[in-house]
Amino acid sequence: MKNLFSKKNYKKFSAEYKKNSIPDELIERVYTSRLLGSDPNLVLHGGGNTSVKSVCKDSDGESHKVIYVKGSGWDLSNIEPNGFSAIKITPLIKLLNKENVSDEEMVNFTKKNLIDLSSPNPSVETLVHAIIKDKFVDHTHSNAILEICNRPNGKKLCKDIFGEEFLFVPYVMPGYLLAKKVFELYKEDLNVKGMILYRHGIFTFGDTSEKSYTRMINAVSKAERYIKKQEKNKIVQIKRKKINFSSDEIAPLLRGYLCKRKNYILNFRSSKKILSDINNKNLKSILNRGVITPDHVIRTKPFPMVLNIDNCKSLKMLNKILKNQFKIYCQNYTKYFDDNVKNNKTSILDSIPQIIIVQNLGIFSVGKSLNEAKINGDVSEMSIRTIGKIEENSKFQSIKNQDIFDVEYWSLEQAKIKKNSNSMAGKVVLVTGGAGTIGLATANKFKQNGAEVIILDNDRKKIKDLKILNTFESLYCDVTNRNSFKKAMKKICSTYGGIDILVSNAGIATQSEMINISDKDLLESFNINFFSHHIVASESVKIMKTQDKGGCLLFNISKQSVNPGMNFGSYGTSKAALLALCKQYALEYGKYKIRSNGVNADRIKSGLLTDKMIEKRSKSRNISIENYLKGNLLNTQVFAEDVAEAFYSLSNSEKTTAAILTVDGGNIEASMR
Ligand code: ZN
């Protein structure tokens, strides 16, 4: 492992912070924390933590000895000085003299001793950092260290490799008990350079950030050298076979089984490396042994679901296999829960797998958002690789199931999980014509409520702008072309697992008197305002039926569908057909709990209703522009956000289908029966 510390780089790095009068030691702390965070072999996604001891003043100007510790929620790779919380260290150390302190009490106590109450919650490993006398303390879950620890002779190996320089700490659950254990062992030998936390990770210390960081790199390199020297056994691989299904075909089936109680996103990944990692013949039994470091359980559950569907020939057969495998997983998880639960106050988490491995295909990871699913996938990919390496020359062993359970059901971790209860969390929403005014307003509305939103549009420039803004996943798609939509759907199923809500919004408006409309223009109008909606609805319904979890189709119709306007025939007639289409879908797919509803909006300034068009339309109705826009019962202008609100409330109206909601400020002629 390369030592990335550079005096030159540090000088450059610190210049900006020095201007903002950040203390030198905290700048140093940020610099080497980022070095650690930049290597996924050391820490992944918020894993690991670092600290520095210092002196600082509180709001009354009183000086205190403090420890700056990484705040939870911060990632070492991009941490800033305000990602560290300063805690008064003297009262913290006194806590260790108590007989027993619950983890909640410890967290409250730590919070009470913060210098600035608005700083983030300090890491649960704060107390361990505080015990160490050295100024700088670094902690990682290095893969190489875990590779050494998680073997039958892990303890002996650690002692052989690190000798007396490192303290060996047997496995104890992170939190107060671990701090107590470290306190007891560290007292015996205050000159150690670091600690190996058995089947958990490594700590290094030093009086400068460079020293502590360098000790980390040196220790990990030592472990790496040992691993390299080992003779490699050849692992028996399953013969590479081409599976009969693609990830996007399997994903909606899996997602259906996953989402029986809650909604989840299902993200797929594969690569040559992954394929070779997951094709071990004994993968299932190996991975059933547990996790390589305790906090992975939050990301991966205690064991993944491992599937081999090499000989499965039809989707029907696949569905049968999956149904059975989910039942088995649920039974095994429930058993694990029952075997380890200690009191009846703890309730079981959703008993679904968080990682699903399909041999010869790749890894599916589950999360309440795409981001969470991807993080879970990263952690799983890395841990499967590390476990595979252990198996090459030894046997993977984990901590006890009871210990894994205690971390998974730790009240502090459970509290984190409960916080995320956004109404649209885990739902996938697709908006066609999504780069336009109404499309964007609708996409925003769903996103604000926690949904994953994908925008489809045929305007490449707008899509590029959206990508630059990094607001939405946006894909190019010509919705009048079935293959173009199918291609987009494949990508969506692989990335998100399927679809829950379709907002079919793409449209075109042309004006002409009936006898003057060219056949080409009328056909084009029907193509976009009617046929494209059928294409996207039919393909979406296929996915929704496969998921077997219901669904929601939302059509942007128009008040023109029931109240035609002069010289607007090509628009009105195609929208009237769209209204019929909306009802037809409601009729045919209600039995699958797929709802179909529409919005009749009117006079909303957008890409369709441009200033020029408004002028023309008001002229054709013989009224002023202002009266045209406000010409409704409520005498008020209607905006794209109002249409978005209507789509959103229809998506939440679980008992409503075949309904049309008007968003026009009130228009008796256009009102529904
Ligand atoms: Zn840790």
The more confident residue out of 672 and 447 is 447
Ligand 1 centroid to residue 143 C-alpha, Å: 12
Quote the mean pLDDT of the chain: 92
Residue 597 confidence class, pLDDT cut points 50, 70, 90? very high
When pLDDT is averaged across residues 439-443 and rounded to a whole number, the result is 95
Q: How far is the CA of 141 from the centre of ligand 1 (A)?
A: 6
pLDDT tier at 413, thresholds 50, 70, 90: low
pTM: 0.93
Of the two residues 462 and 28, the one the predictor is more confident about is 28
Specify the amino acid at residue 480: T
Q: How far is the CA of 284 from the centre of ligand 1 (A)?
A: 26
Ligand 1 center to 177 CA (angstroms): 13
From the number of C-beta atoms within 10 Å of its C-beta (0-12, 13-18, 19+), residue 549 rates as: buried
Phi, psi of 122 (to 5 degrees): -70, 155
Measured from the Cβ of residue 316, the count of other Cβ atoms closer than 10 Å reads: 8
Please tell me the distance from the alpha carbon of residue 144 to that of residue 521, in angstroms, as a whole number: 66
The predicted pLDDT at position 625 comes to 84
> How far does residue 251's CA lie from ligand 1's centre (Å)?
33
pLDDT value at 411 more than 80:
no
Whether the Cβ atoms of residue 401 and residue 290 lie closer than 8 Å to each other: yes
For residue 420, what pLDDT band results from cuts at 50, 70 and 90?
low
Task: Give the three-state DSSP class for 142.
Answer: coil
pLDDT of residue 468: 65
pLDDT per position as a tens digit, 48-63: 899 999 999 888 889 9
Distance 140 CA to ligand 1 centre (A): 6
Distance 200 CA to ligand 1 centre (A): 6
Report the alpha-carbon angle 147-123-109, nearest 5.
Answer: 140
Closest by alpha carbon to 498, among 282, 308, 259?
A: 259
Give the residue from 500, 506, 436, 505 showing the smallest Cα distance to 472. 436
125 alpha carbon – ligand 1 mean position (Å): 7
How many Å apart are CA 14 and CA 27, to the nearest integer? Answer: 6
264 SS3 class: coil
* pLDDT tens digits, 243-281: 899 999 999 999 999 999 999 999 999 999 999 999 999
Q: How far is the CA of 124 from the centre of ligand 1 (A)?
A: 9
CA–CA dist 166, 155 (Å, integer): 12
Does position 421 have pLDDT exceeding 70, yes or no? no
Residue 169 structure tokens: 């700490």
Task: Tell me the per-residue pLDDT of 469-515, one tens digit each, with 9 for 90 and over.
Answer: 778 889 999 999 999 999 999 999 999 999 999 999 989 988 899 99
What is the C-alpha separation between 84 and 138, in angstroms, rounded? 13
Where is average pLDDT lowest: 304-313, 327-336, 381-390, 608-617? 608-617
Distance 132 CA to ligand 1 centre (A): 15
pLDDT band with cut points at 50, 70 and 90 for residue 417: low
User: What separation in Å is there between the alpha carbon of 162 and the centre of ligand 1?
Assistant: 19
- 203 C-alpha vs ligand 1 centroid, how far in Å? 9
Distance between Cα 58 and ligand 1 center (Å): 29
Q: b or e along 84-115 (b: 16 or more beta carbons within 10 Å of the residue's beta carbon)?
A: bbbbbbeebeebbeeeebebeebbebbeebbb
**How far apart are the CA of 170 and the centre of ligand 1, in A?**
13
Token pair recorded at residue 208:
């400068």
pLDDT classification of 415: cutoffs 50, 70, 90: low
The label of the residue with tokens 């008197």 reads 513
Using 50, 70 and 90 to split pLDDT, how confident is the model at 8? very high
Residue 32 C-alpha to ligand 1 middle, in angstroms? Answer: 17
Q: If pLDDT is split at 50, 70 and 90, which confidence band does 614 have?
A: confident
Q: Which of 449-458, 496-505, 604-613 comes out lowest in average pLDDT?
A: 604-613
322 pLDDT band, cuts 50/70/90, is very high
**Distance between Cα 379 and ligand 1 center (Å):** 14
Note the pLDDT tens digit of each residue in 144-155: 999 999 999 999
Q: How far is the centre of ligand 1, averaged over its atoms, from the C-alpha of 339 (Å)?
A: 25
Q: In the predicted model, is pLDDT for residue 99 greater than 60?
A: yes
Q: Binning pLDDT at 50, 70 and 90, where does residue 419 land?
A: low
Spacing, Cα 72 to ligand 1 middle (Å)? 12
Q: Which of 290, 111, 103 is nearest to 178 (CA)?
A: 103
pLDDT digits (tens, 9 = 90+) for 482-491: 999 999 999 9
pLDDT score for 575? 96
Distance 50 CA to ligand 1 centre (A): 10
